[in-house]
């Protein structure tokens, strides 16, 4: 096979589907080629050497051959397995959530190296924490920024004036915050409490090393999570399967505890 048809790339495996009798079609995210669909031939056979190297959410180095319909994985070697993500059901569900977000917010063959780096770092953070709140919210905000949907959190999107340290408003259609004067007059604008605005701003502008040290009250955590979830759902015009699964896990956890 001509070397011109081969390329090597790091990948995070976002999604997979069985194909034919022994193959598997993988949706992967790469730093320099964006999202790709790759065919892993024979990977479902018990004798396949590639099988253990093409699991979900792994960082894998792949040698890929260009094909007519799909490019074909020639070699695959694990770089970082993020093993803890597959050994804990809740962590697995959070990894599914990250993968689904990347899948929904990106198009095939659209490179986004900063998003790839964000994804790998967040998978690592989730592997080593029992409280995923900060890592997930940081990922959501920066994913939005890196895919062109960064919410405006410093100025009123209507008048352009800097937001005062009071209760402002947030509007999904306008893509950001509104001052009280314009928020109160805007249908469907939601109150944006000052503690929530401060947390969102801090996460949007500060590096992860600082964000990781944040201490946030349970009420503010819930409000931040709800606002981002609703904004993402509005942008995608659909609910995410991974979110429904996470909610089911939480409900079952509550039932076991009662």
Read off the DSSP letter of residue 27: E
Q: Can you give the CATH number for the domain in which 116 is found?
A: 1.20.1440.120
Examine the pLDDT at 257 and tell me if it is beyond 80.
no
Identify which of 16, 24, 17 has the alpha carbon closest to the alpha carbon of residue 42: 24
The pLDDT value given to residue 134: 97
Examine the pLDDT at 109 and tell me if it is beyond 70.
yes
| In a shared domain, residues 94 and 56 | no
| In a shared domain, residues 90 and 33 | no
Q: Are 101 and 145 in contact (CB under 8 A)?
A: no
pLDDT band at 12, cuts 50/70/90?
A: very high
Among residues 54, 80, 106, the one where a domain terminates is 80
Domain that holds residue 52: 3-80
Q: Can you give the CATH number for the domain in which 19 is found?
A: 2.40.50.140
Among residues 62, 80, 98, the one where a domain terminates is 80
Alpha-carbon span 16 to 25, nearest angstrom: 6
* Mean pLDDT for the stretch of residues 7-17: 96
* Mean pLDDT for the stretch of residues 210-217: 97
Average pLDDT of the chain is 91
- List, in order, residues 6 or more apart from 157 with CB less than 8 Å away: 171, 174, 175, 176, 177, 178
SS (H, E, C) 79-102: EECCCHHHHCHHHHHHHHHHHHHH
The pLDDT value given to residue 240: 81
Per-residue pLDDT tens over the stretch 115-147: 999 999 999 999 999 999 999 999 999 999 999
Per-residue pLDDT tens over the stretch 177-194: 999 999 999 999 999 999
Give how far Cα 130 sits from Cα of 4, 112, 135, 245, 250, Å.
45, 29, 11, 18, 14
Give how far Cα 6 sits from Cα of 9, 17, 31, 89, 105, Å.
10, 23, 17, 36, 27
pLDDT band at 254, cuts 50/70/90?
A: very low
Examine the pLDDT at 215 and tell me if it is beyond 90.
yes
The DSSP bridge partners found for residue 154 are none
- The tokens for 61 are 């180095």
* Mean pLDDT for the stretch of residues 197-203: 98
| In a shared domain, residues 47 and 91 | no
pTM of the predicted protein model? 0.91
Q: How many domains does the chain have?
A: 2
| In a shared domain, residues 92 and 39 | no
| In a shared domain, residues 141 and 201 | yes
* Mean pLDDT for the stretch of residues 67-73: 92
Helix, strand or coil for residue 231? helix
| In a shared domain, residues 19 and 98 | no
| In a shared domain, residues 224 and 120 | yes
| In a shared domain, residues 71 and 93 | no
- List, in order, residues 6 or more apart from 75 with CB less than 8 Å away: 50, 62, 63
Alpha-carbon span 214 to 159, nearest angstrom: 31
Among residues 80, 101, 125, the one where a domain terminates is 80
């Amino acid at each position: 096979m001509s070397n011109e048809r081969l390329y090597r790339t790091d990948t995070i495996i976002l999604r997979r589907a069985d194909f034919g009798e022994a193959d598997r079609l993988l949706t992967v995210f790469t730093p320099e080629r964006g999202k790709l669909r790759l065919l892993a031939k024979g990977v479902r056979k018990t004798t396949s050497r590639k099988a253990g190297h093409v699991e979900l959410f792994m960082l894998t180095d792949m040698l890929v051959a260009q094909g007519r319909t799909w490019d074909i994985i020639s070699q695959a070697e694990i770089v970082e397995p993020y093993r803890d993500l597959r050994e804990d059901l809740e962590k697995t569900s959070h990894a599914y959530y990250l993968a689904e977000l990347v899948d929904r917010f990106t198009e095939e063959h659209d490179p986004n190296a900063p998003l790839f780096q964000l994804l790998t770092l967040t998978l690592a953070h989730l592997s080593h924490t029992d409280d995923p709140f900060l890592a997930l919210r940081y990922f959501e905000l920066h994913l939005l920024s890196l895919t062109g949907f960064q919410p405006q959190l410093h100025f009123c999107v209507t008048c352009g004036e800097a937001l005062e340290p009071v209760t402002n408003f947030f509007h999904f259609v306008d893509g950001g915050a509104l001052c009280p004067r314009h928020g109160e007059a805007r249908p469907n604008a939601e109150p944006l409490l000052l503690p929530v605005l401060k947390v969102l701003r801090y996460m949007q502008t500060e590096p992860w090393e600082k964000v990781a040290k944040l201490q946030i009250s349970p009420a503010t955590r819930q409000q931040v999570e709800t606002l981002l979830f609703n904004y993402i759902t509005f942008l995608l015009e659909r609910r995410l399967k991974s979110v429904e699964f996470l909610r089911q896990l939480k409900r079952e956890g509550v039932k076991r505890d009662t």
